[in-house]
A and B are shown apart, each in its own frame.
Chain A
Amino acid sequence: MIDRRTLLKSAAALGLLGPTHLWAASNRQSIAAESADDLPPLVGKLSVYLGRGEGGLYDDIVAAIEKRNPELELSIRRAPSAALANTLVAEAKAGVSRADLFWSIDASSLGAVAAEGVSRPVPAAIRRHIKPDFRYEAWAAISGRLRTVPYNPTRLDAAAIPDDIMAFADTDLKIGWAPAYGAFQSFVTAMRVLEGEARTRQWLRGVKTQARSYAGELGVVMAVARGEVDLGFANHYYTLRLKQGKPDANVDLALTRNDAGSLVNSSGVLLLNDNPLAANFLRYLLTDEVQSYLAREAYEIPMAPGVALPQGLPERVQPPSLDLTQLADLKPTLDLLRETRVL
């Protein structure tokens, strides 16, 4: 049994890097995703903290892994990612460790835990099965989601859409947004980190004069398709799902470049000890089968190379260079949204 206090004291803080340069379906320096058929069977006890996400799909994946590995004794704790991150940090501070692995919907909660020095680096042999632009030492990216600008092509030519997110405040376009939505708040947080508070405040005030608010980002995309607004700000999958159900919906995707408007956030896994079972469980999440399932059923961007992207995803994406863990610092964003009366 691990002496957790010794572990805690001796663990070095791990550096975290955000996505670096150009996102593309690049396979450079990568090894194709493994097949579950090639993995060792999972045998023994494993405790997983599972930050909720993607409806029940994560649960479906867990159930499928369990079914495939009948000798795996899995203990799952489910809760919002931020609550689990707080729990892990608190447990670590108290000198105990109850989880082997933390699988979270967002990178910021992973970063907050990793920053406490309680995790283990992702083994290089596993990192090789992740796309190079999304390889981090401290955590393993599993699947991504992209900020986009859904627009109505019957009201707007693609060429008229700025490729700089900050420029939207200087247009007369009718814009849909969902300020109460978590994904939108992460996007504004990214803008605050990248552009500074003053510019973000100015942007919020500028866009507010031409914006219409919706409860959720599906509502934004639907409003774009109906022509209530010219364009909006939303995660990519709402548009892809809508187009899947209604191929003739009047909505297409535009992207900004190297700024918060093209942020790629990621779900991921943190290994919390040296239990090889945890590492092998992570390998299952990066298999071709699981990655394809996430892309197929949730329209998430697979992080393993060689796995087909969700149908309709823009091919050329240029996300900003950003430490995703900084997205955890939400309070100043909420303050800003309230100060500008956007919220």
Chain B
Amino acid sequence: MNRLPRPILHTTLFVCLCLGAAGAVQAHGELSPVDDLTAHIGDYENEVADMRSTVDSIVADYAAGEAVADRVDALVETWEEVEFHEAVETHAMPLYPSIWIALGGLREAVDESGADADVQQWQRRLEQALYEGVGALKLAATQQDDEADTAETAAHGHGAAADERPTITIIKDNLQSVVKTYREGDAESAQSLLHQTYIERFEGIEGDLIERDADLVTDLEKDFNATLPLLMEKQASADDLAAEVEKMNAKLDRAQTLLDDAAKDQSSVF
């Protein structure tokens, strides 16, 4: 299997959640059908338990010499149809290929009459991938609930829906989460979220900002990549971190004004 040697599949679960949250909104703003993970976690667990039971049965019968290829095909169809599939695809995307890889491996091992050990190896990988998916969705559900609270606050203040928040707003919300996570004692996750916010959010808007205020962009880059990470590395107090984030918020407000100006000047495609 020629997989990309990029770190994306080796990122922490925390990072997976960042990516998953970004993918929660489908094309052009409509909400994903799985936009209430908390309400469906039990369903996902049941679906995964059923799939695991099926896999166990298939592997046991294969070891007993039975033909099971059709049942593996049926398992793949089940995976394509369950709600858990869409939830992983939407909210825990970096884990999604692992499940397909394991299903493909199981199918190949069975089709090629592989040794029992090979088949069992893919069984373990598949079950591990499925349960990692459940774990990721549980954490994503927590984050989704937090975001819903934030969105409700935003709606009262600005009339903005969660899926339509401007990038600057998302950055500011994430920075608050960084402080909250750090205050709760999880500096590693706070660092991950900070870095991910820079890569996934800030880098996407800096192009327009450079033309209008390059010094501001440089300043914010320093905040993202030096000031805040160093504070956390030096185990500064959460209040000190929060104070720096407050300073960043003022800069981000100016960035929003500049982006609004840029949007007015931007040409159309056609």
Give residues in A with beta carbon < 8 Å to B.
36, 52, 54-56, 60-66, 68, 74-80, 82-83, 85-87, 89-91, 93-96, 108-109, 112, 115-116, 180, 215-216, 218-219, 222, 237-238, 241-242, 244-246, 249, 289-290, 293, 296-298, 328-331
Query: Residues of B within 8 Å of A, CB-based: how many?
Result: 56
Q: Contact between A93 and B4 (Cβ–Cβ < 8 Å)? A: no
> Bound state CA distance, A261 and B211, in angstroms?
25
Other-chain contact of A215, B93, B101, B103, B225 (Cβ < 8 Å): B225
User: Chain B's interface: helix, strand, loop or mixed, by majority?
Assistant: helix
Interface string of B190-229 (1 = CB under 8 A from A): 0000000000100111111011111101100110111000
Q: Contact between B204 and A96 (Cβ–Cβ < 8 Å)? A: no
Closest to A50 in B: B27
A310 to chain B, nearest CB (A): 12
Q: Decide if B266 is an interface residue (CB 8 Å cutoff).
A: yes
State whether A93 and B211 are in contact (beta carbons under 8 Å apart), knowing that A64-B268, A86-B4, A328-B5 are contacts in the complex.
no
Other-chain contact of A86, B3, B28, B107 (Cβ < 8 Å): B3
Q: List 18 A-B contacts (CB under 8 A).
A: A54-B207, A55-B204, A75-B27, A79-B93, A83-B8, A86-B8, A87-B93, A87-B97, A93-B100, A94-B104, A96-B80, A96-B100, A112-B3, A215-B224, A219-B221, A242-B211, A244-B211, A328-B5
> Bound state CA distance, A90 and B98, in angstroms?
7
Q: Contact between A80 and B19 (Cβ–Cβ < 8 Å)? A: yes
User: Chain A's interface: helix, strand, loop or mixed, by majority?
Assistant: helix
Q: Contact between B269 and A289 (Cβ–Cβ < 8 Å)? A: yes
State whether A329 and B5 are in contact (beta carbons under 8 Å apart), knowing that A94-B100, A298-B207 are contacts in the complex.
yes
Give residues in B with beta carbon < 8 Å to A.
1-6, 8-9, 19, 22-23, 26-28, 76, 80, 89, 93-94, 96-101, 103-105, 107-108, 167, 200, 203-208, 210-215, 217-218, 221-222, 224-226, 266-270
Closest to B195 in A: A180
Q: Contact between B22 and A330 (Cβ–Cβ < 8 Å)? A: no
Q: Which residues of B contact A68 (CB under 8 A)?
A: 270
> Bound state CA distance, A178 and B109, in angstroms?
45
Instruction: Name the 5 nearest CB pairs between A and B, nearest first.
Output: A215-B225, A93-B104, A90-B100, A64-B269, A90-B97
Q: Contact between B267 and A242 (Cβ–Cβ < 8 Å)? A: no
